[in-house]
Amino acid sequence: MLPNLKEIGDKITQNDVWKSIFRHRYEDTSRNRMLQVLSNVWLHIHPTTVTKGNINISFTWCLGGLTFFVFLFETLTGVLLMFYYTPDVNRAYADMLDLSNNAIPLGRLLRNTHRWAGHAMVITVCFHMLRVFLTGSYKAPRQFNWVVGVILLVLTLLLSFTGYLLPWDQLGYWAITVGTNMAGATPFAGYQGPFAELFGFTIDNDIRFGLLGGTSIQAPALLRAYVWHCIGLPAMAGGLMMLHFWRIRKDGFSGQL
Amino acid sequence: MPQVTMGAEKKAEEVGGIWTSRRSFFTLAGWGIFLATIGAYLWNLLGTTGFFFPKVLYEPSKRFAVGYPQDFPDHSVVTLKARRVFVVREGNAFQAISMICQHLGCAVHWTEEKGIFECPCHGSKYYKDGVNFAGPAPRPLYHFHTSLSDDGKLVIDTSQIVERERKLVI
Ligand code: HEM
Ligand code: FES
């Protein structure tokens, strides 16, 4: 005779492996639902109770969430790109072309989505900031998270900027030329900026030099852009995002009721 | 009979500034030394002589020979792309003009038909003598020092910026 569904279900769920992963059963009671969220490493990021206003899509448009999603997507595609891209002046451009021309299975999809998603992240983070501003969500007690957010915005722009140089093509090369020359005009830090003489900044000891690792865009600049783009900036942004989300949980969403 | 005033004494100690209370003086001094040490290490890491500022650069020399004067046709502007300079010859007078745009550093190019230098990035324009006349560029293109080497080659030194009027007459 065939075993009935209940028996099969019990076979699957009544053992140590299952119970060590899913610690609570399905009873649809308020207490059990909270326990499910609390005891699961993924779900516990959510509060155990969410008010109606918090899930109202037209309050946040989920713009911060979208930014985070795009960031995760960039991390995934970026790591895959790292398998084929070499940050070397003689190889970078050719590696990028190989990816674009599908010399690597899914190469073009990877590179193009990584690039478009990079643009998308800049857009979503700006709209997220605009939303927070328009709903007045930066007010007490959320000033701290606003400041964390401003740093996240800067990191997002820097990620975009450093990634721009990596194809080692004309577009990126001259964009970084222009961008780092702007850095060279920073007050108190750049060799062409105000007070450069006072502090003794010259082309080989100012902030532009520190970014490029030289006086012009050469191999060290490509390597630096690569390390900042793939490790330094994502690590900082990831850490600050944890802080950002933790504060959101502690302060609660601003859209009440 | 001596009065018991321990509580009151302690209070007086707390009220005293760092000069009167030994404990807060040492606490402050300890923190001061600790933070100064951290600061010194941070400066060595991030400062202008720190980790991000290499002491040896593998960059092309700023002084280089570009060939014999007769290699450059009369009344011409020759573009030396890799060196980022133009060699301008008028009769037997030579000048080296920088390709680097004075706005934000793109490479300007020589437009023969118009007889001017143009920047592709934000549209700065310069006359043949390097003086800016359109676009965001704030000042003329640099003119570099030129000389002749012992074997008669034209030598340009991009670490020496000279006045616009200076020409190497051969
Ligand atoms: C990498 C960039 C960022 C990520 C991934 C991110 C993520 C998020 C997420 C998921 C939320 C929950 C609400 C929502 O989805 O809108 C949120 C809320 C918030 N964000 Fe961001 N954010 C980023 C940048 C920023 C920036 C640039 C600002 C402002 C300068 C900012 C300020 C805030 C504030 C104040 C809240 C609380 C809003 C409320 O309670 O209504 N964040 N963020
Ligand atoms: S860099 Fe030449 S016009 Fe801006």
Query: Per-domain residue ranges for chain B?
Result: 15-58, 63-169
**What is the second-level CATH architecture of the domain B63-169?**
3-layer Sandwich (2.102)
> What is the pLDDT, as a whole number, of residue A40?
81
Q: Which residues of chain A have pLDDT under 50?
A: 257
Residues within 6 Å of ligand 2 by CB: A 178; B 101, 103-106, 119, 121-124, 135-137
CA separation (Å) from B81 to A111, B19, B78, B109, B118? 31, 68, 9, 9, 15
Q: What does the pLDDT read at residue A236?
A: 98
- How remote is the CA of residue B107 from the centroid of ligand 2, in Å? 8
Q: Please tell me the predicted confidence (pLDDT) of residue A78.
A: 97
Nearest CB to B57: which of A177, A181, A214? A214
CA B123 to ligand 2: nearest atom: 3
Residues of B with CB under 8 A from a CB of A: 48-49, 52-54, 57-59, 104-107, 121
For residue B166, what are the contacts with CB-CB under 8 A and spacing of at least 6?
B95, B143
Closest ligand to residue B123's CA: 2
User: Could you say which residues of chain B have pLDDT below 50?
Assistant: none
User: What is the pairing mode between strands B125-126 and B132-134?
Assistant: antiparallel
CB contact under 8 A, A213 and B52: yes
Q: Please tell me the predicted confidence (pLDDT) of residue A46.
A: 74
Question: Could you give the dihedral angle defined by the CA atoms of residues A215, A219, A221 and A224, in that order, rounded to the nearest 10 degrees?
Answer: -140
Token digits for B29?
């001094």
Q: What is the pLDDT of residue B15?
A: 56
Coil vs helix vs strand at B47 = coil
Q: What are phi and psi of B107, to 5 degrees?
A: -95, 120
Among chain B residues, the shortest Cα distance to A177 is held by: B105
Please tell me the distance from the alpha carbon of residue A139 to that of residue A149, in angstroms, as a whole number. Answer: 13
Q: Check residue B127 and give left, alpha or beta (phi > 0: left; psi -120 to 50: alpha).
A: beta
Residue B51 phi, psi (nearest 5): -50, -40
Which helix (DSSP H) or strand (DSSP E) does residue B85 occupy? Answer: strand B85-90
Those residues whose C-beta lies under 8 Å from the C-beta of residue A194, and which sit 6 or more positions away, are A187, A188
Task: Give A119 Cα–ligand 1 centroid separation in angstroms.
Answer: 18
pLDDT at residue number A257: 45
- Structural domains of chain A, ranges and CATH numbers in brackets: 60-251 (1.20.810.10)
The predicted pLDDT at position B2 comes to 58
Q: How far is CA A174 from CA A87, A214, A221, in A?
A: 17, 16, 13
Name the residue of chain B whose CA is nearest to A182's CA: B104
Measured between alpha carbons, how far is B89 from A163 in angstroms, rounded to an integer? 41
